[in-house]
Chains A and B, each alone.
Chain A
Amino acid sequence: MKHFKQLAILLLMIAHFVTKAQIKEKFTVSGIIKDKATGETLSGASVSFLQIPGIGVTTNSYGFYSITVSPGKYTLIASFAGYIMDTTTIDLTGNKIVNLEMTTNTHQLKEVVVSALRKDNNITKTLPGVQRLSTDDIKNIPVLFGEKDILKTIQLLPGIKSAGDGRTGFYVRGGTTDQNLILLDEATVYNASHLLGFFSVFNSDAIKDITVYKGGMPAVYGGRLSSVEDIKMKDGNNQKTVISGGLGLISSRLNIEGPIVKDKGSFFVSARRTYADLFLGLSSDTTIKGSSLYFYDINLKANYRFNENNRVFLSGYFGKDILSLKDRYSTNWGNSTATLRWNHVYNRKLFSNTSLIYSDFNYNINILSSNNDVKVTSHITDYHLKQDFNYFISTRSKLDIGLDATYHIISPGAATVSRTSSYNPITLQKKYALEDAVYISHEWSVTNKVKFTYGLRLTAFTILGPGNLYSYDQNGKVIDTATYANGKVVKTYFNPEPRFDVSYQLNEISSIKFSYTRNVQNIHLLNNSTSSSPNSLYIPSSLNVLPEIADQISLGYYRNFHNNMYEFSSEIYYKNLQNQIDYKNEAQLLGNETIESQLLYGNGRAYGLELYIKKKQGRMTGWISYTLSRTEKQINGINFGNYYPASQDQTHNISVVGIYKASKKWSFSATWVYNTGNAVTWPSGKFPVDGVPVYLYTSRNGYRMPVYHRLDLGATLEGKRTARFESSWTFSIYNVYGHANPYTIAFQQDPKNPAQTQALQTSLFKMVPSITYNFKF
C-alpha cells in the first residue's frame, strides 16, 4: 500500500505541473449534452467552436464537457452520430454553463442539413481499435430468434470473432473468451451469455451503447488482456413515462421508464424471459416433458440530479438461467451486478465520478438421481471501489486520473450430499485477493494534426489469506503447503501497464494512428472442454499462476471518401502474450483442491490485418469487414514446446452487413458471414483398448473444422406511428440457405457396423425463422 501512496502523490504532482502550463485570462464553457426527447445523456458527442476550427472536446461517459478559451463571441457546435447538429451562440465574458439538448435525425424529414460539417469523426476522434455502437445502430440487423443482441452484432466487426453456433463468448484479436473485460455500468460481468451462448445477458432494450476496445485501451480500463466492452444502460426517459416491449416466439420483453422528477431524475426497469421450454410440455418423452430450460433477466436504473454539480445513479442487473432434466439433473446460473455512482463537478474543469460496484456470478448444480445425488454451489464475488477524475485543462489537453480497488472472493465449489450418495461432501477453500490500480492518462493535441494519448496504469494484485497455498514439483506433486491466517498477505504482484496512442491527420479525410498497450490479467478462467456448460472455474493469480501479460502494437490508416459517405479503415496488430495457461492431458479440474497441479504455462502471439469499409448514408447502408489473422501458442509440454495454432485461430473472416430502407414502412437487412474453421485436434490413427477403438493423435490443433458460412435475412415493418403509440414487426430468418455448420465432430465406432469407425458431425440451426412484435406507448 505504501507504494500506492507514493505513486498517487507523484500522479497529483504531474497533474499540478500540467495544469500550471496554462495561460491566464481564459474562461470555461461547461455543461451536459442530452437527447431532447428522452433526457438521456450523450457520451462521446463532440463540442467545438465554429471560430476555432480543428480543436474540440468530447463529452465523457456522463455527457459532461468542458472547454476553455479566450473571451469572445463564439458559435458552439455540438454534434453526435445520429443526431441533428446543434449550435448556439455565446458571448464569453465569464465562465458559463451551456447544457444542450439534441434531436435524433432518424424520424426527421430534413435529414439533409447536417452533412455540411464534420461527419468525418472517425478521422479525427477515434483511437485505433475502438468501435462504438448504439442500440439504434443494431436494431435492423437480423439475429437468431429475432432477439437483437449487441454482443452478437459486434462479432460482425473486424477482429472480433464468434466462438461459433452454440458457444459462449467471442474472441478478440486472438484472445480467449475470458480475456474480454465486459462491463455493464462499470460492473464486471463474468459470464455474459444466456442459454449456453445463444443469447447475451444484455437486453438491448436496456442498453444505451457499447464501446469496444480491441487495442489502445485507455488507462482507466484494466484487468483483461484482449478487449474491453464498455456497456452502458439507459438512464430512463426524464420527460415522460414510456412503456415499451416486444413479443417474440421464444422470448418477450417489457420496459417501463419515466421521470422521477421531470428534468431532474428518471428510472428505467426492463425485464425479459424466454419461454422455449413451454414447448417441452408437448413432447411425448416423459423425461423431456418434465424438464425446463429458460432464462430471465432484469435491468434497473435510476438517477437523480440534485443540482448542477451533483448527480447520483443506481443501476443493477440480475439474471438467471435454469436448466433441468426431470428427476435427474438441474442447474442454474446467473450474474448480479449493482453500481452506485456519484457524479460531482468540483469546478467547471474538474469532473469526478465515484462508484461503488458489486458483481457476482454463481452457479448451482444439482444431480438428483438417487444414490448419486450431489449439490454443488460456486461463486465469484467482487466488491469494487472506483474513483475517476476528468480534468479538462484546455481545448488541447485533458487529464484523467483515478484509482481502483477490488476485493475478490472466489468460492470454487462446495458439494453437499445425502447420506446415501456415492460422493463425499467437499468444500474447496475460498480464495481471496485484492486488485488495486492507480492510473493517469493525458490527452494532448500538440497541433491540429497530431494528438497524443499516453498514460500509465499500475496494478497491484495481492493474494490474501486465509488459506493453504501449495507449491508443486515438476510432476504436479505437492511439495510444500503454506498456511496463511485471515487477511495475511501471501504475495503481491506489481505490474506497470503503459498505454500510448498517437494519431496524425494527413488531411481532411485521412489519418494514421499508432498505439501500444500493455494489459495484465489476474483472474483466469479454466475450461478444458468444448462444451459451453456454465460451470466456469475462475482462479486468481497465485504462487504458481502468474499474472497474464499482453503487449500489443497496432497501426491504422483511416480514410473517408465520397463526401464522407464511405468510411474505410485498415489496421494491423501484433500481440505478444506471456504466462498463458493450458492443461495437462489428464487434467482433472473438477472438485480438485490442487487444481494448479493440472496446469501448464507458456506464451502466445497473435497478429493480423483488419479491413473495414462502411457506407454510412443513403437508403442502403452497411459494411464489409475482413480479417486475416494468426494466433499461436507455445506451451511447455505441448507439441514439443513448439508454437502451434490456438483453437481460436481463424485465418480468414468475412462479414457483410447490408440494410436497405425501402420505404417509410419497410426496411430489409441481410448479413453474411464466412470464416475458416477453428483449429482442432483430430485422430491420425487408432488402436484397440479392451476391444474398443481408441484414437491416436499426432499434433495439437493440426486440423481445421470445415469452413463456416451463413446468410441471415431480416425485415422490419413499421406500424402506424401516432403521437401515443408506435409499433413494429420484425421478421428474420437465420441461416437462410440451411448450411450445416458443424457444432461438433465426434469420432466413434459405427453403430451399424462395429468393425468400422466414423466421423459424425452435429449441426445446430438449419434455418430458424422468427417473428417479433415491438411496441411503445
Chain B
Amino acid sequence: MKKIAFFVLFSWILSSCQKVVSLGLNQTAPQFGIQGIISDTAGPYHVLIYKSVGFYSGNVYPNVSGASVSITDITAGITDSLTETAMGDYTTHTIIGTPGDTYQLKVIADGTTYMASSTMPQPVLLDSITFDNQTKNTIRAVVHFQDPAGTANFYKYSTAVNGVVMNRFQTFEDRLSDGRYITDKLDNDSSEIKNNDLVRVSLVSIDSKVFTFLSEAEKVAYQNDQLSAPATPISNISGGCLGYFSAQTVRSKDGYVKF
C-alpha cells in the first residue's frame, strides 16, 4: 500500500518514464516443477508436473510425462495412485479431502523421488464479497470474513470471472490480525473485472509452509523490483524441485458487478 502511494505520487510529479528493455539474461537448465492440490471440495484433484523455461520464452511450460504419482491420506491410511489423464496432468481417483488430515505427495520421475506433506486446515467461511471502483478505471473485489481467534491462519484468495479462473493469486496471514473481522481488497488489472461480470472469489485456507512458498512467489511475481535480493521461492516439496503441494479448504462467494 505505502509503496503504491509513493509510486503514484512520484510517477506523477517527476513525470517518470517507462520502457521495455531487452536484457542479456542467462538461461538456467530447465528445472523440474510440481503443483499438487487436494482440497475439501469435490474431486478429482490434479498434480501437474512441468519444467521451467527461460525468461524470454513464452509462458508455456513443457509437461513431464511418465511419472509415478501418489497421494496418501496419512491420517486415514488411504493411498491413491494418480493416472496421467493428459500430458503432465496426473488425476486422483477416489481420495477425498478431509480438514485436519495430513496428506503426503510422492512423485517418482526420471529416477528421483520427490516428497511433500501438507495438513488440511479447518475451513474459514467467506462472509461476503463486494466491489470497489475507487481507484480510477479498476474494479476490484473486496472480501469480508471473520478470522478465527487463537489459531494461526493462512489464506490464499483466488478469483474467477464469468467462470474463467483468473491467473492471479494473493496471500494473507493473520499474524497481525488474529481474531479480527477482515476486509481485504484484491489486486487486479483494470481489464480483468468489468461491470456486469459474475465474479466468484474463493477464500482458500492453506498451511504455513504453503503460505511461505506462495507469499514469496507473490512477491517475486508482482514486486520483484522492490526486493533488494529476490530469490526463488522455496518449495515445500523435498528432492529439489520447484512448485508446491497443498492440502487446502475452499469457501467461495459469487457476486455480480453493478456500478
Q: Which residues of A contact B (CB under 8 A)?
A: 166, 196, 276, 279-280, 283, 285, 287-288, 291, 293, 323, 325, 328-329, 331, 365, 367, 369-372, 415, 420-424, 426, 527-533, 535, 582-583, 585-586, 588, 590-591, 638, 647, 681-698, 700-703, 706, 740, 742-749, 751, 754-766
Whole-angstrom distance between the alpha carbons of A287 and B9 in the complex?
10
Of all chain B residues, the one with the shortest Cβ separation from A757 is B55
Contact with A along B128-143 (1 / 0, CB 8 A): 0000000110000000
Q: Chain A residues near B158 (CB, 8 Å)?
A: 690
**Do B21 and A688 touch across chains, with their CB atoms under 8 A apart?**
no
The answer on a CB contact under 8 Å between A528 and B229 is yes
Contact (Cβ within 8 A) A754 B59: yes
Q: Is the CB of B35 within 8 A of A689?
A: yes
Known: A692-B167, A701-B229. A766 touches B17 (CB 8 A): yes
- Contact (Cβ within 8 A) B178 A424: yes
Contact of A329 with B228 in the complex, beta carbons under 8 Å? no
Tell whether, in the assembled complex, residue A530 and residue B228 are in contact, meaning their CB atoms are under 8 Å apart. Answer: yes
Q: Hey, which bits of chain B sit against chain A, CB under 8 A?
A: 1-3, 5-6, 8-23, 25-28, 30-31, 33, 35, 50, 52-61, 135-136, 158, 165, 167-169, 175-185, 189, 191, 212, 214-217, 220-222, 224-234, 242-244
In the complex, A691→B26 CA distance in Å? Answer: 23
Question: Quick one: given A423-B177, A694-B217, A760-B21, are A686 and B53 in contact (CB under 8 Å)?
Answer: yes
Collect the chain A residues with CB atoms within 8 Å of residue B17's CB. Answer: 740, 762-763, 766
Collect the chain B residues with CB atoms within 8 Å of residue A329's CB: 1-2, 5
Residues of B within 8 A of A763 (CB): 16-19
Check A681/B230 contact, CB under 8 A, given A422-B181, A687-B61, A759-B23: yes
Give 25 A-B contacts (CB < 8 Å), ordered by A residue.
A293-B13, A328-B5, A371-B183, A422-B182, A530-B227, A585-B216, A588-B175, A647-B228, A685-B27, A685-B28, A685-B30, A688-B35, A688-B61, A689-B243, A693-B59, A693-B221, A694-B221, A740-B17, A740-B19, A744-B226, A751-B189, A755-B59, A760-B19, A764-B14, A764-B16
Q: What are the residues of chain B within 8 A of A744 when measuring CB–CB?
A: 225-226
Taking CB atoms, residues of chain B closer than 8 Å to A702 are: 26
Q: Write out the residue numbers on chain B whose beta carbons fall within 8 Å of the beta carbon of A531.
A: 3, 6, 226
Question: Number of residue pairs across A and B with beta carbons under 8 Å?
Answer: 249
Q: Beyond the given A749-B59, A755-B59, A759-B23, could you list 16 further A-B residue pairs with CB under 8 A, ordered by the A residue number? A: A325-B5, A329-B2, A422-B183, A529-B227, A530-B225, A531-B226, A533-B2, A684-B26, A686-B59, A687-B33, A687-B242, A689-B217, A691-B165, A691-B167, A706-B21, A756-B58
B242 pairs with A288, CB closer than 8 A: no
For B217, list chain A residues within 8 Å (CB).
689, 692, 694
Q: Which residue of chain B has its CB nearest to the CB of A763?
A: B17
Question: Are the C-beta atoms of B27 and A681 separated by less than 8 Å?
Answer: no
A530 pairs with B226, CB closer than 8 A:
yes
A695 and B160 CA atoms in complex are apart in Å by: 24
In the complex, the 4 A-B pairs of residues with the closest C-beta atoms, listed nearest first: A691-B167, A371-B183, A746-B225, A744-B225
A365 neighbours in B (Cβ, 8 Å): 2
Residues on the A chain within 8 Å of B233, using CB: 585, 689, 694
- Give min CB distance, B20 to chain A, whole Å: 5
